Every structure is written in C-alpha cells, then in structure tokens.
Structure 1
Amino acid sequence: MAANYWESTQRKFWTFTRQDLAQERKKLEESERSLVNAFPMPDRRHLSIYFSNQLTKMARPLAIRQQAMATAQVYVRRFYTKVEIRRTNPLLVLATALYLACKMEECPQHIRIILAEARHCWDASFNDISKIGECEFTLISELNSQLIVHHPYRSLAELQTQFQLTQEENSLAWSIINDHYLTDLPLLHAPHVIAITALILAVVLKPTQSGYQLHAAGVANALQTLSNVGNARNAEGPGFPPRLQKLIDWLAESSVDIEAVIECTQELISLYHVWDDYQEKAVKDAIAKFVKARD
C-alpha cells in the first residue's frame, strides 16, 4: 500500500484541475447526449447529499467506520467521472462501493449482510448477490484497480496536537471534512489542504451551542481571515487572538497554497448555499425515472 500521498495513484491519476474535471464530464455527457436530454438531473451537489444520506442509512446499523464511508463516497465520485450515471442503478453502485470500501479499509462486511441491508433500506428487488459481485468487478475495472484513498483525517489528527484544538473544535473540523465529500474537492486538492481548511474554519467559526451544522454566511466570514493569512507573509496580522495568530503565522511561514485553501472554503460556501434548497424526493424521483426506463 502507498503510505505516501505524493507517490500515490490518487495524486497521479485521480487529482484533476477544475478545468480538466469539467472537460471529462462534458465529454461523458456528449457521448450520452440522448440520455442526458431525456433524463434531466438535479444539481450534482444535491446528488451527493442524497448519496451520502443513503450510505449513512445503510452503514449506521452495521456500525461501519466513517473512513470506510468516506472511501465509498470517493469511489462513487471517481466512478461517475468515467461512467454516465444514467447508465447505472446508483443504489446498486452505492451498496457495492460501500462493500468494496469496507474491504479496503480493513473492516469487511459479508456480501450477504450488505445485500440484506440494501434490501431493507431501499428496494425488495435487491435479492441477487451476483449483482453486487458484477458491479464490484465493474467498479474495480473503471477505477483501474486504484483503490487506496488518502483522507484528510490523518492530517487533521497531526494538526490537532500541534494547535491544541479543543474537543469541540476538533469535532467541527471533522464535520467539515465529512462535508467536503459532498463536493468535487476530493478530486481537486490534496488531503492536507482539506485538513488545513477544516482546521482554519473550526478555529475561526467556533462551535456554537446549537451544534456543528455550518452555514454559508458563517463560512463566508472566515474568508477575511484567510485573506489576512496571505497578507501575513508580508505583514503582521491585525490583533488576532493568540491561538488564531499562531495559526496565521504558521500558515504564513509554510509552503501551504493559501489560494487553494480559499478555493476550498468557497466551494464549501457554495455547498451550504445549495444545501438549503435540497429536496430528497426530487432527487429520488429523478433517479427512479432513468432506473425504471433501463429496467
């Protein structure tokens, strides 16, 4: 297994520029133009929210670890850069991705248990183990057997000790990392950039008594601090609290790409904006139309 992200298949083959990723998706849509026109889909982030909710519904009774869940989400996102979603049954892909991710993250689940939970959560027609087996083969093939995923959680654990995050701040940062899987960020930036973004937002925003749910307005307020980080390379920040000043000084002296951190923050702002308009029934109905047409 590749312990080093910089030598990993993730960095070499599954990290794109935003322009390259858009081009890949455009080519995929052009090759399936009739399907795309026949079955309009909701916002891609709404799809990701729906997929995450369904994976959570399936994984919670099985006590599957969060990292395996995250790996499954990355598999699904990679898979749909290579395969048009309207050519698939997304629920079957979700169940298979979770089954494969559990094996890769060394918390395997028996295929019959995965099948039974899928049937319980979604559809009584999930009654054939061979479907998951066939889908697993397809998934591995489309991912070119490049199944090791590096996550931001490890980087966050290292930074947590260095900057002495409180338990509440660490929980908020962890929540932000979980949310980034609902965006294209896992395909665009290195895990340590995501971890640093989550750390900054957790320290700047502060967990509230109402919980850890973030909102676009709150995250947007953190952009001013990030701008000051950029300025700190040439001048001292304007009277920040000591721990935040320590973080700003560390970033100013490091080789971390502040522009990338700002881009990650803006992507999260965009996610929280569209999250307010999310309607699960609309996404579920859109998927059901093309699945029913295929069947």
Structure 2
Amino acid sequence: MAASYWDSTQKKFWTFTKPQLQLVRQKLEESDRNIVSLYPLPDRRYLSIYFYHQLSKMARPLGIRQQALATAQVYVRRFYTRVEIRRTNPALLLATALYVACKMEECPQHIRMILGEARHCWADTSFTDVTIIGECEFTLISELDSQLIVHHPYRSLTELQNQFQLTQEENSLAWSIINDHYLTDLPLLHAPHVIAITAMFLAVVLKPTQGGMQGSAAGLTAAMQTLGNARNATGGAHIRVQKLVDWLAESQVDIEAVVECTQELISLYEVWESYSDKACKDQIAKFVKARGMDTRRE
C-alpha cells in the first residue's frame, strides 16, 4: 500500500484535469453513439445523488462505515470513465462496488448480505444469485486495473483540524462537506488534502447551525467572496478565516484549486434543489430493461 498520496496509483492514474476527464467521457459516448442517442440520461450530478442514495440504503442496515461508502462511490466514478454507463446495470455495479469497498476498508460484509440489501433497493431487478456479484467483482477489479486503494480527505481533516482550532460543530460540517464532494468529479480532479482544506474553509465561513450544506448555495457564494476578501477582514470569525488564507498563501497548496472545489460544490448544491429521485430511476430503468440487463449477468 502506498502510504503517500503522491506515490499512489490514485495520483498517477486516477487524477485528471477537467479537459482530460471530459475527453475520456466524450470518447466513451462516441464509441457507443447509438445507445447514447437512444437513452438520454439526466445531469451527471443527478445520477451521482441517486447512486449515493442507493448506496446509503444498502449500507445503513449493515452498519457500513462512511469511508467504505466513500470508497464505493469512487470505484463507481472511476469505472464509468472506462465503461459507458448504458452498457451496465448500475444497480449491480453499485452493489458490487460496495462489496469490494468493504473488503478494501477492512470492514468486510458477506456477499449474501450485500445481495439481500440490493434486492430490497431494487425489487424490480432479478438479484437471486450471489455469483452475479462475484462475476461483476471480477469485471470491476479488471476495469480498475486492480488499483483499489483510495486516499480520502478525512485523514487530512483529522491532521489539520487542531491546527486551525475547528470547533466540534465546524469539524462536523467539514466532514459533511467531504462526504458531499463524492457526488461531484472532485475525487478525480484534486488531491485529498485540497478537498479537506476546502471543507475546513467553508466550515469556518459558514454557520455550522445551518445543519447541512444541501440548499446552501447562497452561503457558498458568500464564502467565495470571503475567500477573495479575507485578508482585509477584521473581527473574531474573520480573523480565523484570514489565518487559514494566510496559511494557504505561505504553503504550497494551490489556492486556485480550492476556489475550483468551492465552485464545484456550489454547482452541486444548486442542482440538488431540483433533484428528482424518480426521474433518475425511470431513465436508468429504460436502458436496463430495454437491453435485458435486469435479468442477465453483466
């Protein structure tokens, strides 16, 4: 296992620039132009929210840790840079990604337990045999080139929270922001410590009493303005923001990357307000059923 992110397969093979990621996805769609035109899909962020809800439904009854859930989300996002989504049954991939992630995060779940929760989530899908998850596991690992170790921002948050004297409420909000970033492309675009620093900055600027970030796009926009003006701010709360920005300026952390991460989160929370679970489910069901993937193996 690579102890450092900088020496890891995540950095070497699974971190892209935005143009690189866009090109990868464009090539996938062009290679399957017929099915892409036949089965239009909702905004990618809507799909990410839907996938997260389904993974959470499976994970919650089994008491699966948040980090394993996050690892599963990363696996799904990586897999769909290699395979066009309309060629898969997302329900099967989500169940398999969670199963593999639990193994990698040392909280393994019996394959029959994962299968059982998957059947509860997708009653209209014929999940009757554990071998289908076993076969999909082989496909998943193969497409990911057996590069299954994921470095998360949680560790960086733990290491830095005392340095910036985060309160318990701010730390909880920062953790929540990190959880939400897995619903974006940020895990494929930026290093974990950049995500953690973004989360800490937003947690200090925003009020922890807001009780979650969903629907807080206006507050995030204000945070962007604070990031630009923090050096001239005064007062207790602003001094803490200034301390963080001063630290960023003196460190080798890319401030532009922090700004980009904040903008991506703003975009996520804006689209979240109009998210429809049913719309995503129906659009996915169209190509899954039309291509007979609700009953056959991947």
TM band (smaller chain):
over 0.9
**Aligned residue runs from structure 1 range 163-242, under 5 A:** 163-208=164-209, 210-214=210-214, 215-228=216-229, 236-241=231-236, 242=239
> What residue in structure 2 maps to residue 233 of structure 1?
none
**C-alpha separation between the residues in 2 aligned to 1:161 and 1:40?**
47
Q: Is the 8 A contact 1:226 1:258 kept in 2?
A: no
**C-alpha separation between the residues in 2 aligned to 1:212 and 1:278?**
17
**C-alpha separation between the residues in 1 aligned to 2:163 and 2:157?**
10
**C-alpha separation between the residues in 1 aligned to 2:2 and 2:235?**
39
Residue 240 of structure 1 and its aligned partner are, at CA, apart by 4.7
Kindly provide the amino acid, as one letter, of the partner of residue 198 in structure 1: A
The answer as to 2:163 corresponding to 1:162 is: yes
The answer as to 2:3 corresponding to 1:6 is: no
Residue 71 of structure 1 and its aligned partner are, at CA, apart by 0.2
**Aligned residue runs from structure 1 range 120-159, under 5 A:** 120-123=120-123, 125-159=126-160
Residue 88 of structure 1 and its aligned partner are, at CA, apart by 0.4
What stretches of structure 2 of length at least 5 have no aligned partner? 293-298
**C-alpha separation between the residues in 2 aligned to 1:237 and 1:128?**
62
Kindly provide the amino acid, as one letter, of the partner of residue 48 in structure 2: S
**Aligned residue runs from structure 1 range 84-103, under 5 A:** 84-103=84-103
String of CA shifts for 1:79-128, please: whole Å, max 9, x gaps. 00000000000000000000000000000001111111111221262111
Q: Is the 8 A contact 1:88 1:291 kept in 2?
A: yes
The answer as to 2:270 corresponding to 1:273 is: yes
**Aligned residue runs from structure 1 range 243-262, under 5 A:** 243-262=240-259
Kindly provide the amino acid, as one letter, of the partner of residue 256 in structure 1: V
**C-alpha separation between the residues in 1 aligned to 2:174 and 2:76?**
23
**C-alpha separation between the residues in 2 aligned to 1:109 and 1:155?**
27
Residue 37 of structure 1 and its aligned partner are, at CA, apart by 0.3
**C-alpha separation between the residues in 1 aligned to 2:112 and 2:233?**
59
**Aligned residue runs from structure 1 range 6-45, under 5 A:** 6-45=6-45
**C-alpha separation between the residues in 2 aligned to 1:248 and 1:24?**
34
Name the SS of the counterpart of 1:161 in structure 2.
Answer: coil
Q: Is the 8 A contact 1:99 1:114 kept in 2?
A: yes
**C-alpha separation between the residues in 2 aligned to 1:282 and 1:212?**
24
Moved more, 145-154 or 246-255: 246-255
Kindly provide the amino acid, as one letter, of the partner of residue 198 in structure 2: T
**C-alpha separation between the residues in 1 aligned to 2:114 and 2:57?**
12
What stretches of structure 1 of length at least 5 have no aligned partner? 230-235
Q: Is the 8 A contact 1:24 1:81 kept in 2?
A: yes
Q: Is the 8 A contact 2:156 2:196 kept in 1?
A: yes
Q: Is the 8 A contact 2:233 2:242 kept in 1?
A: no
Kindly provide the amino acid, as one letter, of the partner of residue 239 in structure 1: T
**C-alpha separation between the residues in 2 aligned to 1:120 and 1:206?**
37
Structure 1 runs of 4+ aligned residues shifted over 6 Å read: none
Moved more, 197-206 or 246-255: 246-255
Residue 195 of structure 1 and its aligned partner are, at CA, apart by 0.2
Kindly provide the amino acid, as one letter, of the partner of residue 270 in structure 2: H
Moved more, 269-278 or 45-54: 269-278
Identity %: 76
**C-alpha separation between the residues in 1 aligned to 2:89 and 2:83?**
11
Residue 213 of structure 1 and its aligned partner are, at CA, apart by 3.1
**C-alpha separation between the residues in 1 aligned to 2:274 and 2:72?**
25
**C-alpha separation between the residues in 1 aligned to 2:273 and 2:229?**
29
Kindly provide the amino acid, as one letter, of the partner of residue 246 in structure 1: K
Q: Is the 8 A contact 2:213 2:269 kept in 1?
A: no
Moved more, 216-225 or 11-20: 216-225
Name which of 279, 284, 289 aligns with 1:282. 279
Kindly provide the amino acid, as one letter, of the partner of residue 226 in structure 2: T
String of CA shifts for 1:207-227, please: whole Å, max 9, x gaps. 12x512341111010111222
String of CA shifts for 1:54-91, please: whole Å, max 9, x gaps. 00011000000000000000000000000000000000
Q: Is the 8 A contact 1:92 1:135 kept in 2?
A: yes
- Number of aligned residues: 288
Q: Is the 8 A contact 2:174 2:200 kept in 1?
A: yes
Q: TM-score under structure 1 normalisation?
A: 0.95
